[in-house]
Structure 1
């Protein structure tokens, strides 16, 4: 287990030879030296919902703003809602938000959030060098094992990197990501080209989930077509290893679990879920920005734009319905393969 890449926070559960546009403006200003950038693209998500964190336990829900008696409460736990209408309703000295039809919550109990801006990349060929992203903001060292250089620039979290050289010192691997720029493996979510697992055909679509690196790579046969960071299950709710197939897809639905326990969670309108093993799914996670670290109750959390890209790419192909299910789950020869492994 990559213990140093685990954040104990409760949550739901070549050079880039083919493709990469600059990630964020701030990251682009601080890219490691020596890394050539080529053409490429990042997905643009279509989910325009506004979400809010429920910051108070047992929040009362009212049929109308200012009503005397609530119709229910939201309970206590890790709770997020989507807003049916982002325009606040002001009644007297109080402000309200509509969370569902005929359901209003006092705005003092909600904190509107913005999902991560991070997203992975599409590729047109498999890179010939390991690559990935920084998962911490770091000052690089001028040589492997050394303290950060005094004159080193700050490289921001989610900065894309290519590994040009690696050295192992004691039990720690160091990566050279630019001229006289070294970082240790704890700071990186690395993409390593993987061979097709046994049973996956030469033209099959398959997804590689590396729970050690906390990365995901999508392939068509032996060709890498997509890569990003993920958040798989925390140690107590580890994502099961193995080779699976997507058997159901849900464009948007609530997710909840651990009822009656301190880590109860309820998440409205979780986007682009792809179920592959019992109740474990790949899906968008709008409620955190901890990609590159274990952070879920067993599912594989994705930045929402990445989840949408995979949802549209994977089989079974999604139709107009909110749900898409393979005809025969026991003899599923349709769904995209999902290979979960630790390193």
Structure 2
């Protein structure tokens, strides 16, 4: 059956359906012109500990830490992660060295595994929108939860192409294959757009979609990279606008508290692959969570370590950053924002 010229196919029956699939780009199936980032980019030159209790004591020597005597300070109270250089196991007691002349006991901290999720590198701009599945979900035979489910199950971080969109009630539904529809809240979408946003002057720019929690990087009129992010939570929004990267750091410490009683204090050592672009707001790797695609931060844009490393190597000081929210829900009044 010819599909080179779909308009010549019969208008009814299987031929009509195949012609419709060809028009939508479903048939013949064309994979995205993309590959995952190299797995080697997941490497971070640091090892991390999560502090599991309040006021963990810091000692000036290994011996003092083993005895638990004469602490020099404490790590305080809050959401705290530290990096360590060495681990000592002495007669069943574990001690970590977290800096020159600084040691903590291992019974009040836990080692963490860093996220291995990776975004996608593109060889050309794809024809269709695409996105990542956010949670395990079945597809439906047609738009709407009143329709029968298919037997196909989609899983977290699985990538789908979007061939058509229909709205049922308050939400859009995406066609992800023949007779397969998934509701929009289950997918974080990138709609490739090679047109420069207003205010962008260079040939390289980063586009951050706050509604979808996705990022796309463009160079010389083509999409080159896309992935998931975690931007600011409600009240700690990531500010929309056009910015430029003004500082690159292999790693930086980050801390803060917003409540009067500092009950929300956080302290994060050696945050990797940092691109500052809007006062104290930055794109950077996040080793302390794996919730990419959901709002998570106090205003920065969190990426997986692999994504942050790739972006750090690709971007330069001066690279443009476009932050936008197509829903209009993120405040744009400058008075809403502090330095970050």
TM-score with structure 1 length normalisation?
0.80
Equivalent position of 2:321 in the other structure: 338
Q: Give 1:302's aligned residue.
A: 303
Aligned-residue CA RMSD (Å): 2.0
Aligned to 2:20: none
Please show how residues 85-104 of structure 1 align to structure 2 within 5 Å: 85=86, 88-104=87-103
After TM superposition, list the pairs within 5 Å mapping 1:191-270 onto structure 2. 191-194=190-193, 195-201=195-201, 204-258=203-257, 261-270=262-271
SS at match of 1:311: helix
> What is the match of residue 188 of structure 1?
187
2:11 — aligned with what? none
Tell whether 2:83 aligns with 1:82: yes
Q: Which has the larger radius of gyration?
A: 2
Specify whether residues 39 and 241 from structure 1 end up closer, same or farther in structure 2 by C-alpha distance, changes over 3 A only: closer
Large movers: runs of 4+ above 4 Å? 147-151
Give the Cα separation in 1 of the matches to 2:131 and 2:240: 22
Alignment gaps of 5+ in structure 2 = 1-28, 327-340
Aligned to 1:54: 51
**Correspondences of 1:126-205 after superposition (within 5 Å):** 126-146=125-145, 152-194=151-193, 195-201=195-201, 204-205=203-204
Corresponding residue number in structure 1 for 2:37: 42
TM-score (norm 2): 0.80
Larger RCO of the pair (alpha carbons < 8 Å, separation 6+): 1
How far is 1:37 from its partner?
5.2
Q: What's the offset of the Cα at 1:101? A: 2.4
Contact 2:199/2:242 (<8 A) preserved: no
Consecutive unaligned residues in structure 1, runs of 5 or more: 1-33, 317-334
2:141 and 2:150 in contact (8 A); partners too: no
Whole-Å separation in 1 of the counterparts to 2:248 and 2:283: 9
Contact 2:255 2:268 in 1 (8 A): yes
CA-to-partner distance for each residue in 1:281-327, whole Å, 9 max, x for gaps? 000001000100110000000001111111111112xxxxxxxxxxx
Q: Provide the secondary structure at the position in 2 that maps to 1:82.
A: strand
Indicate the SS of the match to 1:233.
coil
